[in-house]
């Protein structure tokens, strides 16, 4: 039976365990992530469900899945953990205490040359700080910052919200990366219609569904269905796939730095908007000195 004491039916530790299981959908991986044994993790999940009086997880030979109640509880658990972490941070910052954690959301497809150096400098200056980088679809960055689950994220500009601050970081235009000997490589620019019949490599739909579907709709407006040959989650993999003849890579110019000699890039026309400015985004109430240094280092592109 659930306890009559409200939130006392579970502990923040159990919420942490539950979120790990819900996100990994695998007890072994969740146990490794939370640094507990698998039997202990399973026991805690059983205890949590027993105290709540609700089944949160379905377990069978195929693995773990969330019940409807579990999906609802996951969002609430994330919010409570975020609020607890933020409250701890705010009190420590107000008292001049050390910052313990910086949550930064990344999108796998971004190429940010200064990222490694920025991480090193923040870790050197803020001893004991746990810098957590989380790979999330870009559509979820703003939501996470507004919910105070994240300290810093990325989003296409402009971002118009009274609680958010943004600064431009990267600017790029749409390109198609193709083999150097491809027939379209002889052109200075490539139109969208010229991609008809060509296998296309795109960033994964799961990481940026808005852009993925926008590109497909843009092709349909030109009278053809794009043939998506591969969804590449890593920008370093895509040029190699192009060189191997898997397909032509449609991406923004800031997704890559240098390309191998056997492939080349051409501006891709007929996409509106043709250019995108990507910005750093954080909450206006953020007082984190680590976040401030991180932003300064990323913006220092010279």
- Express each pLDDT in 214-270 by its tens digit: 999 999 999 999 999 999 877 788 999 999 999 999 999 988 888 999 999 999 998
157 and 284 co-located in one domain: yes
Closest Cα to residue 34, out of 24, 20, 50, 46?
Answer: 20
C-alpha dihedral sign at 30, 33, 39, 43: negative
Do 149 and 220 belong to one domain? no
The model's confidence at residue 140, banded by pLDDT at 50, 70 and 90, is confident
Domain interval for residue 125: 98-169+277-299
What digits encode the pLDDT tens for the residues 148-182?
888 999 999 999 899 999 999 999 999 999 999 99
Listed in sequence order, the residues at least 6 apart from 14 whose beta carbon sits closer than 8 Å to its beta carbon are 44, 47, 48
Instruction: Please give the Cα distance from 45 to 267 (Å, whole number).
Output: 52
Do 181 and 271 belong together in one domain?
A: yes
Q: What DSSP designation does 38 have?
A: H
- Give the CB-side neighbour count of residue 204, counting CA atoms within 13 A: 16
Q: Which two tokens stand for residue 81?
A: 């953990």
Report how far residue 71's alpha carbon sits from residue 74's, in angstroms, rounded to the nearest whole number.
5
CA angle (227, 183, 217) in 5-degree steps: 30
Question: For residues 206 and 16, which has the higher predicted lDDT (pLDDT)?
Answer: 16
Is residue 295 domain-shared with residue 164, that is, in the same domain? yes
Say how far apart CA 195 and CA 224 lie, in whole Å.
9
Residue-wise pLDDT for 61-102, tens only, equals 778 999 999 999 998 998 888 777 767 766 665 655 557 788
The answer to whether residue 86 sits within a structural domain is no
165, 33: one domain: no
Rounded CA-CA distance 228/144 in Å is 30
Are 58 and 181 contained in the same domain? no
Cβ atoms 102, 294 nearer than 8 A:
yes
* Overall domain count for the chain: 3
Same domain, 46 and 14: yes
CATH for 176: 3.40.190.10
């Amino acid at each position: 039976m659930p306890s009559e004491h409200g939130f006392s039916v579970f502990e923040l530790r159990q919420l942490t365990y539950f979120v790990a299981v819900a996100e990994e959908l695998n007890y072994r991986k969740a146990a490794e992530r939370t640094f507990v044994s698998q039997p202990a993790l399973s026991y805690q999940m059983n205890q949590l469900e027993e105290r709540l009086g609700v089944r949160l997880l379905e377990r069978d030979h195929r693995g773990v899945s969330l019940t409807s109640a579990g999906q609802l509880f996951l969002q609430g658990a994330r919010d409570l953990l975020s609020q607890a972490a933020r409250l701890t941070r705010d009190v420590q910052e107000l008292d001049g205490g050390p910052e313990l954690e910086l949550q930064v959301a990344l999108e796998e497809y971004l190429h940010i040359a200064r990222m490694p150096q920025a991480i090193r400098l923040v870790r050197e200056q803020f001893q004991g700080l746990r810098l957590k980088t989380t790979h999330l679809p870009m559509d979820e960055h703003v939501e996470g910052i507004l919910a105070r689950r994240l300290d810093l994220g990325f989003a296409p500009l402009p971002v118009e919200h009274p609680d958010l601050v943004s600064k431009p970081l990267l600017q790029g235009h749409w390109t198609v990366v193709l083999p150097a000997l491809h027939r379209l490589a002889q052109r200075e620019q490539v139109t969208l219609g010229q991609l008809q019949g060509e296998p296309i490599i795109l960033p994964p739909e799961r990481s940026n569904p808005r852009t993925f579907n926008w590109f497909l709709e843009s092709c349909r407006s030109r009278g053809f269905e794009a043939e998506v040959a591969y969804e590449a989650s890593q920008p370093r993999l895509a040029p190699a796939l192009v060189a191997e003849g898997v397909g032509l890579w449609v991406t923004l110019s800031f997704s890559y730095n240098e390309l191998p000699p056997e492939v080349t890039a051409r501006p891709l026309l007929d996409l509106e908007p043709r250019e995108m400015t990507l910005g750093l985004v954080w909450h206006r109430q953020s007082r984190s000195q680590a976040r401030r240094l991180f932003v300064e280092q990323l913006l220092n592109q010279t």
